[in-house]
Chains A and B, each alone.
Chain A
Amino acid sequence: MPQIEVENLVKTFRVAERQAGTWGALKGLLQRRSRTVRALDGISFTMEVGELVGYIGPNGAGKSTTVKILSGILIPDSGRCVVMGRIPWKARTAHVAEIGVVFGQRTQLWWDLPVIESFDLLREIYRIPPREYLRTRDELVAMMRLEPLLDTPVRQLSLGQRMRCDLAAAFLHRPKLLFLDEPTIGLDAASKLAVRDYIKRLNRQGVSVILTTHDMDDIEALCRRILLINRGRILFDGALEALRAQVSRDRQLVIVLAHEETWVEDPDAQVIRRNGHHLTLRFDPERISAADLIARITARYEIRDLYVENPPIEEIVAQIYYEEGTAL
């Protein structure tokens, strides 16, 4: 049985329309105008135990609405949603005891208290048996190297340190399912790598993860499967490579020229970027193989270095958003 089953989920919100100016504000007091926004327009998917799914889409696409419904914060207008055999909002306390949620933008730790005190309080909140708590905590502290941070008040932590502590905090009660909402937002490169590594390790322990992010490097590093949502509908559900193939088969050959002024031309490839000695060519591997193209180019021009790469996932996603007519 899938861990998450979502079928035809619909959620609409009423948004109050404010009128401009003082007069508008006064009028708004008497008659409220509102319009209905369809945040989720019938989404369906299933997820198995142990999966790590990337949930992507532009701002306002319906990502957080989905996560809020799955975690029991919001009740949908219609549709079916079963998570670990439960309807989240019908059994709130039982449900949330088995999930963990991290918001990258906010902390769930107590601002003025040392990290360890927050952990201890969470033990009480989740009613974790003391021995089990100590085992999990020590394990997480060792894995994420939190030892030097434990006695520091949360407000004094750097963003990267705080994120590590928040990840650990969300995992203290050993949830079977983790929701991570932009866990790498605002982090420096080293912290990002560390956080990704921890996510991977938690997932390897059998925890399912739904990762919402705008950082395509997160997706490439972590997710075998992605769900792409826009305007409340799921546009794509599958492997990253399949998404790439669906949008375009093109690959890119980057060459470093010996002489900047060299003019490069090829019947089967197209120059898409030129930056000093660096030149990016796009080609369709069905028309010409990478090996043939490289052989031809190196025979004709003086090349210092070259490599083949996939178009960045950002470009692919941007193209889909664009085709959908979303202004970004």
Chain B
Amino acid sequence: MRRGLGQRGLRRVAALLADIGDGARLYGRYIALSIRAQMQYRASFIMLAVGHFLSTGIEFLGIWALFARFGDLKGWSLPEVSLFYGLVNVSFALAEAAARGFDTFDGLIRSGDFDRLLLRPRSIALQMAGRELQLMRIGRFFQGLVVLAWGAAALGLPWTVDRIAIALGAIVGGAFVFAGLFVLQATLCFWTVESIEIINTTTYGGVETAQFPLTIYRDWFRRFFTYLVPLASVTYFPILAILGRDDPLGTPHLFQALAPLAGPLFFAATLQAWRFGVRHYHSTGS
């Protein structure tokens, strides 16, 4: 009897794993095709990527100029802030590239082509993610990576295994948070295609905000980006752990290292909202 139950459980787990593998394979196919399609316009891709690298790089020059003039920011040095800047931009670049399908959802719903996704026997969210992997975002990605590496070098931080693990966790967690914001933006389109600016402000404002340590902001603002949109969990806390600095807000080290887990959780929550939006679409059709 008990063995029977165990076997059934195993079988269910096996079926779930097969489902995930199946979905991952389809996603891989989508992405491969998206890349091939973009490679048809190779020159355009290269120019966009280089342009993206330079235009986001100028932003950092601005920050550098400020620090050259004022020395530090409430006790944070330029190399320290570089860690924030680099991490956030690498995360955001990943999210922009991977969640591009959600970012351009308003066009899909306006043209009526969203119906086609509903006519295919696959998860809607998977098809949305598979619409496009925008390669040009590699510009911001490398720009962020360069700044991150420079900051770490200037601070003389040795890249130990735990530091690398925390940094990778923060990058992936951050990508989940930003991807979640793109999912929310798309979800809102089920009700109106006009007010997506609200989410846009949070997304791009979030990128700007998280480029600096949380402690420089006011309380309510800090709470918004900690509890509602958990950007602090994927930048501020893990960076404290990487720096080995004590948190003026008093959080323990272990919490700081594990905080990026909030990213996937936030993303899962936004997917629930998305499903709610799809249900709404089923009954209104617009």
Q: A: which residues have CB within 8 A of B?
A: 13-14, 65, 68, 71-75, 89, 92-94, 96-97, 99, 101, 103, 106, 108, 110, 112-113, 117, 121, 124-127, 153
Contacts of A65 in B (CB 8 A): 285
Chain A: CB-nearest residue to B192? A16
B33–A117 contact, CB under 8 A? yes
Q: Chain A CB within 10 Å — which of B26, B118, B284 has the most?
A: B118
Contacts of B113 in A (CB 8 A): 106
**9 interchain residue pairs of minimum CB distance:** A112-B37, A97-B121, A93-B121, A75-B283, A74-B285, A73-B118, A75-B282, A96-B121, A124-B29
Complex: A106 Cα to B120 Cα, angstroms:
15
A175 to chain B, nearest CB (A): 11
Complex: A112 Cα to B41 Cα, angstroms:
10
Contacts of B283 in A (CB 8 A): 74-75
B108 to chain A, nearest CB (A): 11
Contacts of B286 in A (CB 8 A): 13
Of residues 254 through 286 on chain B, the ones whose CB sits less than 8 Å from some CB of chain A are: 282-286
Complex: A72 Cα to B281 Cα, angstroms:
12
A13–B285 contact, CB under 8 A? yes
Chain A-chain B contacts (Cβ-Cβ < 8 Å), number: 64
B133 to chain A, nearest CB (A): 14
Chain B: CB-nearest residue to A15? B286
Contacts of B25 in A (CB 8 A): 124
B119–A101 contact, CB under 8 A? yes
Q: A72-B118, A96-B118, A97-B121 are in contact. List 7 more A-B contacts (CB 8 A).
A: A13-B284, A74-B282, A89-B282, A93-B121, A112-B40, A121-B30, A125-B120
Complex: A94 Cα to B113 Cα, angstroms:
21
Contacts of B284 in A (CB 8 A): 13-14
Complex: A99 Cα to B284 Cα, angstroms:
22
List 14 interface pairs A-B (beta carbons < 8 Å), by A numbering: A14-B284, A72-B119, A73-B282, A74-B282, A75-B282, A106-B112, A110-B37, A112-B37, A112-B40, A113-B33, A113-B37, A124-B29, A125-B121, A126-B120
Bitwise interface map of B from 5 to 35 toward A, beta carbon under 8 Å scored 1, else 0: 0000000000000000010011001100100
- Judge whether B245 is part of the interface by a CB distance below 8 angstroms: no
A124–B26 contact, CB under 8 A? yes
Complex: A182 Cα to B78 Cα, angstroms:
63
Contacts of B223 in A (CB 8 A): none
Complex: A113 Cα to B26 Cα, angstroms:
17
Q: Is the interface of B mostly helix, strand, loop or mixed?
A: helix
- Judge whether B36 is part of the interface by a CB distance below 8 angstroms: yes
Complex: A4 Cα to B60 Cα, angstroms:
62
A68–B285 contact, CB under 8 A? yes
A73–B37 contact, CB under 8 A? no
Complex: A124 Cα to B120 Cα, angstroms:
11
B33–A93 contact, CB under 8 A? no
Interface size for B (C-beta < 8 A) is: 24
Contacts of A124 in B (CB 8 A): 25-26, 29
B129 to chain A, nearest CB (A): 14
A81 to chain B, nearest CB (A): 13
- Judge whether B69 is part of the interface by a CB distance below 8 angstroms: no
- Judge whether B116 is part of the interface by a CB distance below 8 angstroms: yes
Given A93-B122, A110-B33, A110-B37, A125 and B285 touching (CB < 8 A)? no
- Judge whether B115 is part of the interface by a CB distance below 8 angstroms: yes
Chain B: CB-nearest residue to A99? B119
Complex: A112 Cα to B131 Cα, angstroms:
12
Contacts of B40 in A (CB 8 A): 112, 153
Contacts of B115 in A (CB 8 A): 68, 73
B184 to chain A, nearest CB (A): 21
Complex: A96 Cα to B124 Cα, angstroms:
13
Contacts of A94 in B (CB 8 A): 121
Contacts of B37 in A (CB 8 A): 110, 112-113
B116 to chain A, nearest CB (A): 5
B274 to chain A, nearest CB (A): 15
Contacts of B116 in A (CB 8 A): 103, 106, 108
Given A14-B284, A89-B282, A73 and B119 touching (CB < 8 A)? yes
Chain A: CB-nearest residue to B286? A13
A32 to chain B, nearest CB (A): 10
Contacts of A92 in B (CB 8 A): 118, 121
Complex: A113 Cα to B37 Cα, angstroms:
6
Of residues 92 through 126 on chain B, the ones whose CB sits less than 8 Å from some CB of chain A are: 111-113, 115-116, 118-122
Complex: A92 Cα to B116 Cα, angstroms:
13
Complex: A14 Cα to B120 Cα, angstroms:
27
A61 to chain B, nearest CB (A): 16
Contacts of A89 in B (CB 8 A): 282
Complex: A199 Cα to B89 Cα, angstroms:
52
Chain B: CB-nearest residue to A111? B37
Complex: A89 Cα to B285 Cα, angstroms:
13
Contacts of A127 in B (CB 8 A): 22, 121
Contacts of A97 in B (CB 8 A): 121
Complex: A74 Cα to B181 Cα, angstroms:
27
Contacts of A110 in B (CB 8 A): 33, 37
Contacts of A121 in B (CB 8 A): 29-30, 33
A157 to chain B, nearest CB (A): 16
Complex: A106 Cα to B111 Cα, angstroms:
9
Complex: A71 Cα to B36 Cα, angstroms:
32
Contacts of B282 in A (CB 8 A): 73-75, 89
Contacts of A125 in B (CB 8 A): 26, 120-122
